[in-house]
Every structure is written in C-alpha cells, then in structure tokens.
Amino acid sequence: MQTGQVLTHVDASVDTGRARRAALVLLTALSALNHLDRQLIAIVLEPIRAEFALSDIQLGLLSGLAFAALYTTLGIPASLWVVRHSRVGLVSLSAIVWGMMTALTGAAQSFAHLLLARVGVGIGEAGFLPASHAIVSALYQTGKRATALAVVSAGVNVGIFLAFLVGGVVAQFYGWRTAFFLSGAVTVTTALLFRFMVAEPEGDRAEPGSVAAGAMSTLSDTARRIFTDPVLRHVTLGALLSSMVAYGALTWLPSFLLRSHGFSLTGAGTYLALVIGIGGGLGTWAGGYYSDRLGARDIRWSLWLIALVLLATKPFTVGFFLVEASWLALILFLLPAMTSAIFVGPSISTLHERVPPMVRPVASAIFLFLTSFIGIGLSPIVVGALSQWVFASAGEESLRYALVVLQLLGVLGAVHFWLAGRALKAG
C-alpha cells in the first residue's frame, strides 16, 4: 500500500477494512497525545506552584481557562472550514501546532509565559476533535459508530496514563520542563506520520454550491437543530455537566493525593495512570460498545446505560474524597476512575446520528464548545476558588471539600442522560 493511500471508500473489501483500522489506530494515537499534552500540566501543578509561588486560583486558570478559551472558540470556525476541505490535513496541522506549543511550555520563565504557551496548546488542539470525529463517522456506519468513536475516545485515557505515569517519573527525576519537551517532540513526529500515511476519506461531505453547503452547514442552522431536538438538548446538557465533573476532578487529583495523602509525584502518577489510564480506557470503550449493543435492542438504553452508571458510581467518588485512610480511598476510586468518561462515545454517536452527515464537524464543534469551555475551562477555576476561598479554613484539606462539592453536578448530568433516553423512540 502506497503512502497517502491508507483511506479509501467504505466498502466490504479487505483492504478497506484494514485501511479503516489503520486510520482508527493513528487517530487514537493522536487522541492519546492530545490529552498527554493537555493533561501533563496536572501532574506537575505542585512543582510549578512551588517554583512560581502560585495560588490555587492561578493554577486553576493555568490548567483550565488559559487552554480552553481559544480551544473552544476556534473549534467552530475550524469545523466550518473542514466541512468542504481536508479533514486529514487539519488533524495533522493541529497536532503539529499543539506539539510545538507543548514543548515551549517547558521553556517558560514566568506565569505569563506559561499562560501564553497554554493558550497556544489550545489553539493547536482546536481543530482536532471536529475533524477526527468527522473522519470516524465517514468510515463507520450506524451500529459500529459509537464503538469506533469510543475507541478514539479511549485514547484520552491512554494520554492520561502517559501524562500521569511518564510525566510523573520524568518530572521527578529530570524536572517538569523535560516532560514538556519530550511530549511535544513525540506529538510533532506522530502528526507528520499521520499526514503522510492517511488520505482523505471520500464522500460524506458537502459539495461546493449545494443546498447543504449553503444552508445546513451554517453555524446558526446547526445550533438550532441541536437545541430544538430534545434528545440532543439533554445529551448536550448531560455531557456538559459530566465533563465539568470529570475534567475538574482530573486536573486536581494529583494535587489532592499529594496534599491530603502525602503521595510523591511518582506515586500519584503511577496510581492515576493505572486506574484512569488503563481502567478508564477500558471503561470508555465498554461504554461505546454496550451502548451500541443495548441500543440495537432498545434505542433508549444507549443513553439510559450512561445515566445508571454515572449515578451508581457517585457514592464511591464522594467516599474517595472524604475518607482519611489512603488504602480505602484508593480502593473506592477504582470504579469511578473506570467510568468517568463513559458518556463520551455514546454522546458523540447520538449527535452524529441526528444531524446531516455534511455538518457533523460543525455539530461536534458546537457540542465541544459547550462541554469543553465549561468542563475544561471553568471547572478547574471553580474548584480552585472553592478551595482558596470557601474552604480556606481547612488548610491543606480545602481541596478535598471543593472536589466533593463538584461531584453534586454529576447527579444532574445523569438526570439529563436519562431524559435524553426517554425522548428517544423505543425500538
């Protein structure tokens, strides 16, 4: 097979099946690096706090809004562009930019430099998800799409595994700057590999001058479709609240283990890498797989499954943050760590099932703007503010109670997934 010819028409041929799998593997690898570069800062927040004498609010700004501000806003124009242009090209360019900015994070000499580098990472990552989701949806049909999207989404957990384990080890023995240099270099290399091995999938896109390209691909029409469809409205709200809980906790988990349980960087990184990286990856994949399986019997259960899992694991999460015994806390967190991102694959799959194929990148961008701006951008700052202001009297334990308060939003997220399932027709 020649360079640039990995992707072809979706048909029954063996070569096309291999092409789809090869594309899925490479997209999953980039998804992993996407979250490695994004979440690496979480494991090194404490060394950065010590070096630059930062407050919890500044750390929340650095790990959240600085990244999310342009990441979420630029995702929309990027998705509008990719409706008619190369999705593969945008994925590659995005990865090169965010990889370079990740490396520059390691060269920062002040809080302002760190903020600018994080903004740059957000700019680079803005085009990745809308374009990658569109590629997967072009290659995989109904009944297999949620599973395929969940595979790519499981790359998130692989990236978290690398960020916590490799990042923790490298940061402790070679310094936090080296971790950023290494991560950025690997991302740029993988982006170039993707660009020269993967060709643009044919079909499933708007033609210039068509009615779809002139009307349905517009931002307002696509947004109106999402918010007037009760299923998509509840899925979006459920994912927004669930993302806020997941990303807010993820950002502060290493600091919580260091402050409240006396872990080292390598100890916290190893534990979180195993339970969130490996366990969470399996849970994310299982969420998409069983959503497809149950949805084939009764479409409502493709979303009801998510609601039930999120509700069932909530007491374990609250217990993890409140118990004093470290051994018991680590055990309680096992199940929540595996299921915190279970909603991702089924949410995107439901979104792509209910909008025209040519505007899927735009729909993804709107969806990600809402879930990421609040989940990634605001949630870490909210937790930091609760820790610094509301629970300041608890001292080093203030973060513990701030993270418990955050979990209450997860219950509302589960309710919205249940309502979204009810709005689907049984079948």
Tell whether 295 is covered by a domain. Answer: yes
Helices (H), 198-333: 211, 219-228, 230-261, 265-272, 280-297, 301-322, 326-332
Number of structural domains, the chain? 1
Distance of CA 122 to the CA centre of its chain: 13
pLDDT given at position 205: 56
Contact 288, 302 (CB under 8 A): no
- The pLDDT profile of the chain, 427 residues, written as one tens digit per residue, is 444 444 433 333 445 777 788 888 899 999 999 999 999 999 999 999 999 999 999 999 999 989 998 898 898 888 887 777 788 999 999 999 999 999 999 999 999 999 999 999 999 999 998 889 888 888 787 677 877 887 887 788 789 899 999 899 999 999 999 999 999 999 999 999 899 888 788 755 555 444 344 444 568 888 999 999 999 999 999 999 999 999 899 999 999 999 999 999 999 999 999 998 888 878 888 888 898 899 989 999 999 999 999 999 999 999 999 999 999 999 999 999 999 989 988 998 899 899 988 788 788 888 988 888 888 889 999 999 999 999 999 998 999 999 999 998 999 999 999 999 999 976 4
Tell whether 195 is covered by a domain. Answer: yes
Tell whether 144 is covered by a domain. Answer: yes
User: Structural domain of residue 41, as residue ranges?
Assistant: 14-203+217-423
Amino acid at 73: T
pLDDT given at position 345: 81
pLDDT given at position 169: 92
pLDDT given at position 213: 47
What is the phi/psi pair of residue 425, to 5°? -80, 135
Q: Closest by alpha carbon to 302, among 354, 243, 346, 351? A: 346
Q: How far is CA 28 from CA 59, 77, 86, 358, 376, in A?
A: 29, 23, 19, 22, 20
pLDDT given at position 80: 80
The per-type count for the chain, helices as H runs and strands as E runs, is 21, 0
Tokens of 179: 């971790």
CB atoms within 10 A of CB 108: 19
Tell whether 211 is covered by a domain. Answer: no
pLDDT given at position 4: 44
CB atoms within 10 A of CB 113: 14
* CATH number of residue 273's parent domain: 1.20.1250.20
- This prediction has a pTM of 0.81
Tell whether 404 is covered by a domain. Answer: yes
Tell whether 233 is covered by a domain. Answer: yes
Tell whether 209 is covered by a domain. Answer: no
Contact 82, 90 (CB under 8 A): yes
CB atoms within 10 A of CB 258: 20
Tell whether 381 is covered by a domain. Answer: yes
Residue 218: CB partners within 8 Å, gap ≥ 6?
Answer: none
SS3 (DSSP) at 333:
coil
